[in-house]
């Protein structure tokens, strides 16, 4: 009896460990758990193809259909693995990803435009600095530190106003998108994050020059394994 008990106690732990499995269509990524990614060890990501997911609510809804949320690559390795999958599947870029400008910070930028003040989101004190809370994220399981260093341009990128005899009507590209996934040349150090209009192509005729620039037909979704 004693021998049987000792044998049971020496069995390897792995025997009782369930293999990590992602839902069909999702890629599995192992992560280093930290406070910034909610101590996430395993994360599943999928590139879902659907029309006009430049509209942020459309993008959220597509992810929700897979019991997932908008997500973002946590490091260069994840970005390159996702990019390789995108090229293999011949999915067009850009791709909607997690991250939307804080509405409070958006108002601050509008106010600076109105008053013709300098806009510098890398030097501003307070929450509207890119290292602070300039952007808000749906996904609590991804550390966004790396992605926020991957903008190719200063923020804001696309912004301005229209005026037709009344007040200035300000606008801004404020939703994050992933780009350059289809580049096949030297990919070292590629900056791959941009900003897009959060309404996608809603209300824009296909003949309008803005249509192609605002069209996004794929979204990066993430969730826990099964």
pLDDT higher than threshold 80 for residue 35? yes
pLDDT at 9: 42
For a pLDDT cut of 90, what percent of the chain falls above it?
83
Range of the structural domain that residue 179 is part of: 19-223
Residue 17: predicted pLDDT? 42
Rounded Cα distance between 103 and 70, Å, is 18
Question: Looking at the predicted structure, is the pLDDT value of residue 112 above 60?
Answer: yes
For residue 6, pLDDT over 60 is answered with no
pLDDT for the residue numbered 2: 45
* pLDDT band of 10, cuts 50, 70, 90: very low
First to last CA, the chain: 38
**pLDDT in the model for residue 40:** 98
Is 128 within the bounds of a domain? Answer: yes
Residue 47 belongs to some domain of the structure = yes
* Buried/exposed 54-88: b ≥16 CB within 10 Å, e otherwise: bbbebbbebbeebebbbbbbbeeebbeebbeebee
Integer Rg of the chain from CA = 21
- Collapsing DSSP states into helix, strand and coil, what is residue 59? helix
pLDDT at 199 over 50: yes
**Residue 4 counted as domain residue:** no
Q: What CATH number does residue 36 fall under?
A: 3.10.100.10
Q: Is residue 11, in this structure, part of any structural domain at all?
A: no
> Is the pLDDT confidence value at 3 over 70?
no
Q: Assess whether pLDDT exceeds 70 at residue 14.
A: no
Q: Is residue 170 scored above 50 in pLDDT?
A: yes
Say if residue 25's pLDDT is above 50: yes
pTM of the predicted structure, to 2 decimals: 0.89
- Classify 65 as helix, strand or coil: coil
- For position 127, what pLDDT does the model report? 97
The CA-based angle 49-50-54, given to 5 degrees, is 105
Domain-located, residue 1: no
Query: 30 lies in a domain?
Result: yes
Contact call for residues 200 and 62 (beta carbons, < 8 A): no
Number of structural domains the chain divides into: 1
Q: Tell me whether residue 13 is in a domain.
A: no
User: Can you give the pLDDT at residue 8?
Assistant: 38
Residue of higher predicted confidence among 13 and 88: 88
Q: How far apart are CA 115 and CA 92, in angstroms?
A: 39
With respect to residue 110, please indicate whether it lies within any of the assigned structural domains. Answer: yes
pLDDT bin (cut points 50, 70, 90) of residue 210 is confident
Q: What is the rounded average pLDDT of the residues 25-34?
A: 98
Mind listing the pLDDT tens digit for each residue in 72-94?
999 999 999 999 999 999 999 99
Structure confidence by residue, pLDDT tens digits, 91-105: 999 999 999 999 999
């Amino acid at each position: 009896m004693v021998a049987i008990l000792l044998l049971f106690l020496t069995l390897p732990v792995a025997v009782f460990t369930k293999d990590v499995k992602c839902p069909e269509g999702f890629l599995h990524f192992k992560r280093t758990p930290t406070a910034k990614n909610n101590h996430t060890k395993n994360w599943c990501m999928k590139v879902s193809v659907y029309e006009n997911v430049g509209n942020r609510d459309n993008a959220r809804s597509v992810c929700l259909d897979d019991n997932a949320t908008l997500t973002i690559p946590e490091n260069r390795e994840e970005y390159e693995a996702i990019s390789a999958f995108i090229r293999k599947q011949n999915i067009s870029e850009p791709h909607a990803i997690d991250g939307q400008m804080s509405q409070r910070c958006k108002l601050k930028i509008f106010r600076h435009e109105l008053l013709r003040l300098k806009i510098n989101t890398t030097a501003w004190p307070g929450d509207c600095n890119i290292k602070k809370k300039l952007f808000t994220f749906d996904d609590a399981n991804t550390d966004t530190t790396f992605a926020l260093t991957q903008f190719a341009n200063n923020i804001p990128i696309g912004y301005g106003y229209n005026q037709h005899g009344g007040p200035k009507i300000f606008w801004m590209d404020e939703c994050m998108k992933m780009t350059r996934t289809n580049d096949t040349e030297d990919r070292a150090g590629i900056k791959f994050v941009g900003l897009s209009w959060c309404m996608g192509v809603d209300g824009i005729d296909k003949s309008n020059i803005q249509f192609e620039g605002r069209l996004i037909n794929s979204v990066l979704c993430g969730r826990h394994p099964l």
